[in-house]
Amino acid sequence: MEIANFRITSAAWLALALASCATRAPAPAPPAPVAPAPMPAPTVTRGEFAIQAVPLDVWNAIGDILVRTPQASYDSRSRMLGLYSVHYRGQPLLVVAHALPLSDTVQALTTGVTAKSPAGAPIDSDVAAELLAVLQRELPAEIERVHARAAAAAAAEASVAKAHKAAKKRKAKKK
């Protein structure tokens, strides 16, 4: 009987030894962290606005404001496209002034002012919104200055033309 117990005990030890040598199934890997869903690209630029004015006047006024604004500089501009390629606080932006079509809500000649990424896509950044706020605040007064300069230039040109015509008339009388 002792021998039988020894064999059972030996068999138990042998089973335990084999069980400890057996490879175990790998522990399940922890779940991969869930990446946040990518933010969709903005469809509207924060801070864009409309102003009741001619697009060319708005474009000229934007240039005058950019020249005076600290931490703003423009790299290039296009009057035909109504845009300025600018750097504001180190961020490259396109500032665009474009005519808005007449509609139920737009009854007079109105210009939309917005900022875009250098690739032309809407941009949602604090820097762009801040620059647009500066433009929105300063544009009405700057457009008046643009009008005053244009009127003064037209008056000066008319005065020169009148003086030239009078001189030509005097010269014709002398002959």
Which CATH number does 49-159 carry? 3.30.310
Rounded distance between C-alpha atoms, residue 128 and residue 72, angstroms: 11
Contacts of 43 (CB under 8 A, 6+ apart): 122
Check if the beta carbon of residue 143 is closer than 8 Å to that of residue 53: yes
- C-alpha 70, offset from chain centre: 18
**Amino acid code (one letter) for 104:** D
pLDDT tens readout for residues 42-97 = 666 788 999 999 999 999 999 999 999 999 998 999 999 999 999 999 999 999 99
pTM: 0.68
| pLDDT of 172 higher than 60 | yes
